[in-house]
Amino acid sequence: MSRHLILLMLCLCFPAKKSFAVQCVDINQDGIQVLSMQLTGIGPAKARAIVNYRTDNGPFTSESDLLNVKGIGPKTLDKIKEQLCKLVAAAAGAAITQNNNNEQQTRLKIRNVIKRARVSAGQNQTKKNAPR
């Protein structure tokens, strides 16, 4: 019993290091504190830079987008790559959004063509039906 108590005390006093973290980090959702605590080699300043970049430029769609963040280079990216998650979902979401925008634009163009055709047909009919 006392061994279990000592083990419990040790676990509570010495939490696991960043490298032992099991959960993946969502760089499109998590805040500065989570990013700095969970990602190897990322402190508060780099975490703030990630969040600021995300706020200014929208969600990250690939891991390589992180290279655009000030203070994150290829070495840092290699360190944290395995700890990241949900970028596939973000990329898919961005693609879906783009497709939806394209669909909306196409529908709008079709509606405009139909309107113009109706207007032209209406003008032609009035000319045909006009008394001579």
**What is the token pair recorded at 77?**
């990216």
Each residue of 22-59: pLDDT tens digit?
Answer: 578 989 889 999 999 999 999 999 999 999 999 999 99
Burial of 65 (0-12, 13-18, 19+ CB in 10 A): buried
- Answer yes or no: is 76 within a domain: yes
Which range of residues forms the domain containing residue 110? 17-121
| pLDDT at residue 92, rounded to an integer | 56
pLDDT digits (tens, 9 = 90+) for 73-126: 999 999 998 898 866 555 555 555 566 667 777 777 888 888 888 888 776 555
Specify if 21 maps to a domain.
yes
Within a domain: 5: no
Instruction: Answer yes or no: are the C-beta atoms of 14 and 29 closer than 8 Å.
Output: no
Q: Is residue 79 situated within a structural domain?
A: yes
What are the beta bridge partners of residue 84?
25
pLDDT for residue 39: 92
CB-facing half-sphere around the CA of 8: CA atoms within 13 A: 5
Total domains present in the chain: 1
Backbone angles phi, psi at 84, to 5 degrees: -90, 150
Domain contains 54: yes
Q: Letter for the amino acid at 115?
A: K
Q: What is the CATH number of the domain that holds 78?
A: 1.10.150.280
Is 126 inside a domain boundary? no
Count of residues for the chain? Answer: 132
In a domain, 4, yes or no: no
Question: Considering the domain boundaries, does residue 71 fall inside one?
Answer: yes
Tokens 């970049």 identify what position? Answer: 53
Q: How much is the mean pLDDT over the chain?
A: 78
